Structure formats: structure tokens, C-alpha cells
Amino acid sequence: MDLYIDFVTENTTKRMNSIEKCEFIISKLKNKRVVVFEGGLRPEEEAILIEEAMLQIDHSSFLGYKIITPSPVRTPGLFSRKDIRMTVIAPQNYESLSVALV
């Protein structure tokens, strides 16, 4: 299976509400995209994403997703240092999410 990864910046999602964000992610997953999401999701958004995914699982092409949030990465710099949080979300059909992280 070919692997496609979409990097989604916070700038892209900052005007989206939680539902829109989750629908955006699910549409990507349904198109067999792995989504690397800058800023991650809040726990409440993760719960909404689970609910939305469960409602949209069709038991053929979309079976849900795998999600991993690695520890935040700290950017270098004295005054501009900040923690960058990323969440990686992949369609369940990928046999191993670690493949997406390589």
C-alpha cells in the first residue's frame, strides 16, 4: 500500500471548531491519508473524533484510525523556545502506524 502523509499546520485549523476539525481529519483518513497534525487535539476533541469515526465506520473501506501523540518537541533558541506538539493519525487499514512514523 502506498503511503501518503499530509502535514497540517495549526494555521490551517485555527479557524475550525472541534466538529469541523474532526470532519477534516476523517475526510483525510477516508482518502487513505496519514495526517500529521501540528498542535494536536484536546482530549474533548479526541472524544468527538472517536464518536464521529464510530458513526462513519462502514466495515469495508473505513475501519477507524490509529492515533499517537509523541512527546512534544522543544524548538531551539533562547527567547523563541517553544514546545511543538504533534499528533499522528493514520487509517486503521495501515498494518502498523510505526510505518507512518519512519
Pairing, β 73-74 against β 86-91: unpaired
What is the four-CA torsion angle of 35, 45, 38, 58, rounded to 10 degrees? 0
Q: Which stretch binds other proteins (CB under 8 A): 4-12, 19-27, 56-64, 77-85?
A: 56-64
Minimum distance of other proteins from residue 20's CB (angstroms): 19
* CA–CA dist 86, 94 (Å, integer): 19
Given 3, 5, 16, 47, the residue binding other proteins (CB under 8 A): 47
Q: Which stretch binds other proteins (CB under 8 A): 6-14, 15-23, 42-50, 74-82?
A: 42-50
